[in-house]
Structure 1
Amino acid sequence: MTLSRKARFLTVTVPFNDIQKNAAGILIKLALEEDLQQTGDLTCQALITQTDQAEIQIVARQHGILAGSPITSLIFSELDPSVDCTHHLSDGDTLEPGSIVTTCAGPLASILIGERTVLNFLTHLCGVASLTARYVKAVAGTSATILDTRKTLPGWRVLEKYAVAAGGGTNHRMGLYDGVLIKDNHLAGWASRTSQPTIAAAIQQTRESVDGQKPIEVEVDTLDQLADALQAKPEIVLLDNMSPEIMIQAIELRNVNSPATLLEASGGITLESIQSVAETGVERISVGALTHSAISLDLGFDWKRRT
């Protein structure tokens, strides 16, 4: 199997497709259930009448990238279909302070009930997209592609990886089911019962197991391990926690022994260090922080009209 220099396991599409809608639908039902239970909103029941109407705008309070905008309509479709949502921007668009994302009009009680759920989804996903965009910008002009990881909130993976794509990043494998990544613990467990415990042998056995239908990626943390792995010509080798100086040597070793193999840097890479990593010439950089450390982007509901 041959992969291009921009090879990837999976690319999530922007805008939303049925995969994201289904994932969001499950989370929306859970979110509304934990807020309302069987009782509903006690505050609205005390103060808001069924005839009260309102119009609000979802407005950005800071610079960032939009992701998850269609979720607003999905939330109100579940909560109260009479709330009308008009989207003014598309996922992947740049946000400035004051940017109007969506206008919602309808029963005031329903808008108030849905407000926190909407913002919980949007602020988190916009945060992921915005952080991703910063990493992508930091490697501009190099050959490196920014990838996410499986370090996602349980149940949120489809949406968080969607947000990475909205921010200009690339999705790594979606799960264990759609891509091979041989890590150190796999090798340790496998080596205890094999007579030929080399990384190259593990790659070959894995390639036979998937019948050549999936790219093989293997993790190494030394140049000796890389030399071993390259004998089997894997599609991708992950360079775990290597310094830029060692990565340059790794690229030279790859170029001599298996030029078609892609090299992926990973492990503790930050916005401060990523440029030096990208300048080594690696084709891929995977960053768990895109999803596990993104700070929510500040968005708010701005009151427009009550009649």
Structure 2
Amino acid sequence: MSVQFDIEMKQVARRLVSAALQEDLHEIGDLTSQALIERHATGSVDIVARESGVLAGMPIAPLVFERGSAKVTIDSRIADGTRLSPGDVVATVSGPVRALLSGERTVLNFLTHLSGVATRTRKFVDAVAGTQATILDTRKTLPGWRNLQKYAVLCGGGANHRMGLFDAVLIKDNHLAAWRAARPHATIADAVRHARNVSPEATFVEVEVDTLEQLADALQAPPDIVLLDNMDCDQMRRAVTMRNDAAPDVLLEASGGITLATAAEIAATGVDRISVGGLTHSAPALDLAFDWSAG
């Protein structure tokens, strides 16, 4: 699948790459390569998959080699969003050996992490195949990495939830508790209506509930989305029936403790969305490596 790596993502990636190279090289450089490698030596290296997964992050690799005057070329063989098998050559990188060695770990740190996110996402997407449920990420991302991690989720076939607090309304239990402190008789539906009135620019208005009674209250507004927090599958099936009867245009989102083992059963309840924090906060790195060839 093809996913756009847009200008904003590139700007974020360039900042992160700059910070990564600074902590690795400072103003001194790669002492080992400077000691052992001739200044004018050139070579090539293949980026190779060591295990099955989904690729994400290749547009970042050229940014690693922008620093300095060394001319490095990258011949990409496989596009982001593509499934990988062990031994697949993702790309060939050629240029001064010192530059290749100095950038190796930074390139792999980005690729292995983002490909890990894409791979974990694909596993969830595959688990709910054949249902109407969409797999979404959350805001449980590494600080500064959100754009890139959400890009990797797209590479894995998932969808993005809100980017941050700035683009959508998601009323959670703590928001309701704080808001109701001065309005003890206010309902969840009242909170939804108020948020919609004062934040018309929001992409959507969503509210979290953890009981069917709260769902019935929320559906009176109604919001665009209701998040069903930590409900069991029986509750979710009943929630779907309630939604269909009272406000069929409202989307239902399951969230809370969802794993690969439970995703299919949850999707079968008829919910529209399943948000999984573990796509980004718990994805293991995908094993990719530099395989060197003669220069």
Q: Quick check: TM above 0.5? A: yes
* Deviation digits for residues 121-158 of structure 1 (CA, Å, limit 9, x no counterpart): 00000000000000000000001000000000000000
Distance 1:80 1:152 in 2: 34
Tell me what 1:262 maps to: 251
The answer as to whether partners of 2:169 and 2:202 remain within 8 angstroms in 1 is: no
Tell me what 1:245 maps to: 234
User: CA 1:80/1:184 → structure 2, altered by over 3 Å: closer, same or farther?
Assistant: farther
Tell me what 1:275 maps to: 264
| Aligned AA (2:58) | S
User: CA 1:227/1:79 → structure 2, altered by over 3 Å: closer, same or farther?
Assistant: farther
Unaligned 5+ segments in structure 2 are none
User: CA 1:110/1:175 → structure 2, altered by over 3 Å: closer, same or farther?
Assistant: same
User: CA 1:178/1:245 → structure 2, altered by over 3 Å: closer, same or farther?
Assistant: same
Which residue among 45, 50, 67 is the counterpart of 1:78?
A: 67
User: CA 1:81/1:71 → structure 2, altered by over 3 Å: closer, same or farther?
Assistant: farther
Distance 2:13 2:260 in 1: 29
Distance 1:251 1:80 in 2: 60
* Deviation digits for residues 18-61 of structure 1 (CA, Å, limit 9, x no counterpart): 11111100000000000011221111121112111110000000
Tell me what 2:94 maps to: 105
| Aligned AA (1:88) | R
Q: How does 1:140-219 map to 2 (within 5 A)?
A: 140-211=129-200, 213-219=202-208
- TM (norm. structure 2) is 0.97
The answer as to whether partners of 2:120 and 2:283 remain within 8 angstroms in 1 is: yes
Tell me what 1:294 maps to: 283
Q: CA deviation at 1:214?
A: 3.1
Q: CA deviation at 1:304?
A: 1.1
Tell me what 1:29 maps to: 18
Q: CA deviation at 1:119?
A: 0.3
The answer as to whether partners of 2:74 and 2:91 remain within 8 angstroms in 1 is: yes
The answer as to whether partners of 1:15 and 1:91 remain within 8 angstroms in 2 is: no
Tell me what 1:125 maps to: 114
Unaligned 5+ segments in structure 1 are 1-12
User: CA 1:185/1:213 → structure 2, altered by over 3 Å: closer, same or farther?
Assistant: closer
The answer as to whether partners of 1:144 and 1:282 remain within 8 angstroms in 2 is: yes
Distance 1:41 1:259 in 2: 60
Q: CA deviation at 1:80?
A: 4.8
Q: CA deviation at 1:260?
A: 0.8
User: CA 1:83/1:248 → structure 2, altered by over 3 Å: closer, same or farther?
Assistant: same
Q: CA deviation at 1:197?
A: 2.1
Distance 1:177 1:37 in 2: 35
User: CA 1:34/1:200 → structure 2, altered by over 3 Å: closer, same or farther?
Assistant: same
User: CA 1:233/1:298 → structure 2, altered by over 3 Å: closer, same or farther?
Assistant: same
Distance 2:68 2:272 in 1: 45
